[in-house]
Copies of this chain bind each other. A is one copy, B any other.
Amino acid sequence: MELHSPNTPDQNDKSQQSLTNILIADFAKQKITRIFQEAGITVQGKNDWDIQVHDERFYNCVLMKWSLGFGESYIDGWWDTKALDQLIHKLYTSNIENKNKNLPGKIDKYKAKLINQQTKFRAQKVAHVHYDLGNDMYAKMLGDTMQYTCAYWKKAQTLDEAQLDKLDLICKKLQLQKGEKILELGCGWGGFAKFAAEKYGVEVDAYNISKEQVEFARKRTTGLPVTIHLSDYREAQGIYDKVAAIGLCEHVGYKNYPILMQVAHRCLKKHGLFLLHSIANNFSTTHCDPWFNKYIFPNGMLPSVKQLGEAMENLFVMEDWHNFGPDYDKTLVAWYHNFDHGWPLLAEKYGERFYRMWKFYLLSLAGAFRARRIQLWQVVMSKDGMPGGYESVR
Q: Which residues of A contact B (CB under 8 A)?
A: 93, 282-284, 304-310, 312-314, 316-327, 370-373, 375, 382, 384-392, 394
A386 CB contact (under 8 Å) in B372, B382, B389? B372
Closest to A306 in B: B309
A318 CB contact (under 8 Å) in B284, B305, B312, B319? B305
Q: Which residues of chain B come closer than 8 Å to A384, judged between CB atoms? A: 93, 372
- B314 engages A319 (CB within 8 Å): no
Query: In the bound complex, what is the Cα–Cα distance between A305 and B304 (angstroms)?
Result: 11
- A327 engages B389 (CB within 8 Å): yes
Q: Which residues of chain B come closer than 8 Å to A325, judged between CB atoms? A: 389
- A306 engages B317 (CB within 8 Å): no
Query: In the bound complex, what is the Cα–Cα distance between A307 and B305 (angstroms)?
Result: 9
Query: In the bound complex, what is the Cα–Cα distance between A385 and B325 (angstroms)?
Result: 10
- B317 engages A372 (CB within 8 Å): yes
- A387 engages B372 (CB within 8 Å): yes
Query: In the bound complex, what is the Cα–Cα distance between A63 and B394 (angstroms)?
Result: 47
Query: In the bound complex, what is the Cα–Cα distance between A386 and B318 (angstroms)?
Result: 23
Q: Which residues of chain B come closer than 8 Å to A314, judged between CB atoms? A: 282-283
Closest to A310 in B: B306
- B321 engages A320 (CB within 8 Å): yes
- A313 engages B326 (CB within 8 Å): no
Query: In the bound complex, what is the Cα–Cα distance between A326 and B317 (angstroms)?
Result: 12
Q: Which 3 A-B pairs have CB atoms at the shortest separation, nearest pair first?
A: A372-B385, A305-B309, A321-B321
Instruction: List 11 additional A-B contacts (Cβ < 8 Å) besides A306-B309, A306-B310, A326-B388.
Output: A93-B384, A282-B318, A304-B309, A305-B309, A306-B313, A320-B322, A322-B392, A323-B390, A327-B389, A372-B386, A372-B387
Query: In the bound complex, what is the Cα–Cα distance between A375 and B389 (angstroms)?
Result: 10
Q: List 8 A-B contacts (CB under 8 A).
A: A284-B313, A305-B312, A306-B306, A306-B310, A317-B375, A320-B322, A326-B388, A371-B385
State how many angstroms separate the Cβ of A196 from the closest Cβ of chain B.
Answer: 23
